[in-house]
Structure 1
């Protein structure tokens, strides 16, 4: 059972007064300390669905003991590694993640819409200086702990929980001196009985994206689930769930988007249980039209875990039935030609496990890079599925 220090008081997660003490600490902005190690590891309190939860600070997972539920495998096994200390910088005092962006949050004139996250080149940048739109979506998803799963959570994760987790994660991120949550719009789950309240909150949030009479137009960032695409004059409209109006994207950007995200779109259309997540910068014109400026996409499965291809989905499906926790690694700005550990099992014994899927088109450089990654993390046990050699090996 997890134990924390809040102020001068030691508390167990199971104690009857835990929620009331968390509520008090939340109001007083106190930071819980996890006692899995000495000295204790700082954490923060998030409010979700009327309850208070203790969450790990961004990128602090490795500081926890491997037996602690807040432990997180090394970020070097994913595309997050090259971004740390460059595009993503952690404030040691507050734990906030300061993000440097590779996309604009304003628009001047009639600059053409772009798909923002074009596939990274095969040239490896050892220290990316800025975060692409796709990488920001991955970082939000990862920090919100939506990459983690155990069978105990079956049926408990819907869009409402996804939204709450993402907004809490965004409050821990700083963009140009302000919390990312100030410019992030995620549609609320629609409830008929709260129709007017939802509309009022939406209008208040979207005020920052409405066109002003002069100067550059400010943009906001939206994360939403795509419902469908349909053609309009000179472009397409993206209908997203829980939102009464579409996003409009011009025809040239739509064609680039289809070329860049052909695999994601094919995956989404192949399985009705999959969700297609869009992240976009957008503004609202004086006519009230929400227009996309830059956009990126990601496919997630029925448990909202990101999935790159059908082989990963088979692995995730097998792992989803286990009570042990699994964590999906994300690519961020790495190309598909570079290896990552597809999934890690942080609770495996006697050591955490890193699961690799070697695609059929993997070359000598791919294998070398994977072997170097494995050698650099000797505390992790490797599991390798070479797709060209046949069926999935037995799980560890």
Structure 2
């Protein structure tokens, strides 16, 4: 249970009047202070699905006590580390961030650029200086706290909650002089009783992607759950949930996508409860066709936690029933031959546990990089599963 100082009054988050307090504080732009440590840690108030929530400021999770629900693992252990101060610049006063992107938000010239952009979206050459499209998806997921899980949330995280978290996260990010939320499109969960209202809001949200005469065309960024891929006359149709129209992707870009994300597509096909998330830049033609310029994919489990192998999936299944919080680490721009923390168990005693999964083909360079990563955070207990040595080791609790 968290305790906050808001203005000059102390609050317990379980208090019946707490929502009313947050609504007033939100209107007055007051910043709650989490009292898990002394001095207390500044936080902010978000409005999601009509409710007011206290959320941590970017990069302040490590300032909270390990037992506090707002604790966040050190970003140096994930692919976020090389990006902070380079591709991601944080304003400590406001908590907002400025993102530098390695993909275009406008389109000029022939459609062939889509295939080229799709091929370059995970380039290691820009791993510290600019964000790939996949890295932006990871940053949205991480900032939206969708990498976190505890068993108390079972059955409470659906697409509506995911969408609200992504939009709130995007509101804290700025790209090329404007909030990312201005150009981010996340489909609203469909409800038959609000069909007309949803259609009107969707049309307003997509207005920025419409073709508007000669010159470069502005693109938007979509994050959505893929329902299926279907053959089209010249390429593929990407059908996504909660949308009445497909996204079109040309044949060359589709072939590159299938090759680059072969692992994600293979994992997605192993279980009906899994979700495939796409992030794509897109525009809408005069004919009303939504066409993808660049795209990246990510597979998540039934709790919307990302994973990149069956071994990580098994680990997440083990942790799903745990009543304390686990946090999934993400790669951002890093390639698969670079180690990152798989999961962090924040509330363990005497200190947090950093869980690593070493792939079967890992060599000496990988092991050396892993040893260096562990050395950077000596306060964290490492748990290592080397796939080549056999089944999952004993987990760090009875």
Q: State the match for 1:142 in structure 2.
A: 142
- Tell me the equivalent position of 2:70: 70
| Residue 178 (structure 1) aligned with residue 178 (structure 2) | yes
Which secondary structure state, in structure 2, belongs to the residue aligned with residue 270 of structure 1?
A: coil
Q: What is the match of residue 151 of structure 2?
A: 151
Q: Which runs of 4+ in 1 moved over 4 A?
A: 117-121
Distance 2:272 2:346 in 1: 30
Name whichever of 62-71 and 378-387 sits farther off. 62-71
Residue matched to 2:104 = 104
Which residue of structure 2 aligns with residue 313 of structure 1? 313
State the 1:68 CA deviation: 1.5
2:225 maps to 1:228: no
Measure the CA separation in 2 of the matches of 1:352 and 1:24: 35
CA drift of 1:111 comes to 4.1
Distance between the aligned counterparts of 1:303 and 1:68, measured in 2? 21
Q: 2:376 — aligned with what?
A: 376
Question: What's the CA shift for 1:118?
Answer: 4.5
Question: SS where residue 255 of structure 1 aligns?
Answer: helix
Residue pairs, 1:1-396, within 5 angstroms: 1-112=1-112, 113-114=114-115, 116=118, 118=120, 120=122, 128-396=128-396
Provide the C-alpha distance between the structure 1 equivalents of 2:182 and 2:25, rounded to a whole number of angstroms.
23
- Higher mean displacement: 30-39 or 295-304: 30-39
User: Given the two structures, how large is their TM-score scaled by the length of structure 1?
Assistant: 0.97
CA distance in 2, matches of 1:120, 1:228: 23
Q: How far, CA to CA, are the matches of 2:250 and 2:121 in structure 1?
A: 20
The CA deviation at 1:39 is 2.6
Q: 8 Å contact 2:228–2:240 — kept in the other structure?
A: yes
Partner secondary structure for residue 118 of structure 2: coil
Q: Distance in 2 between matches of 1:372 and 1:365?
A: 11
CA distance in 1 between partners of 2:286 and 2:121 (Å): 33
1:283 touches 1:291 (CA, 8 Å); kept in 2?
A: yes
CA distance in 1, matches of 2:19, 2:122: 45
Q: In 2, Cα distance between the equivalents of 1:120 and 1:243?
A: 27
Deviation by residue 1:66-114 (Cα, 9 ceiling, x = unmatched) = 2211111111111100000000010122110111111111111224213
SS at match of 1:38: coil
For residue 298 of structure 1, report the CA deviation from its aligned partner. 0.2
Gapped regions of structure 2 (runs ≥ 5): none
* Kept in 1: contact 2:119–2:256 (CA 8 A): no
Quote the offset at 1:2 in angstroms.
1.3
Distance 1:203 1:5 in 2: 41
8 Å contact from structure 2 (residues 144, 165) kept in 1:
yes
- 1:266 deviation in Å? 0.4
Q: For 2:322 and 2:40, locate their aligned partners in 1 and report how far apart those are by CA, in whole Å.
A: 30
Q: Give the superposed CA RMSD.
A: 1.3
1:350, distance to aligned residue in structure 2 (A): 1.3
1:76 and 1:141 mapped to 2: Cα distance? 17
How far apart, CA to CA, are the structure 2 residues paired with 1:222 and 1:61? 28
Q: How many residues align?
A: 394
Distance 1:243 1:369 in 2: 43
Q: What TM-score results when the alignment is normalised by the length of structure 2?
A: 0.96
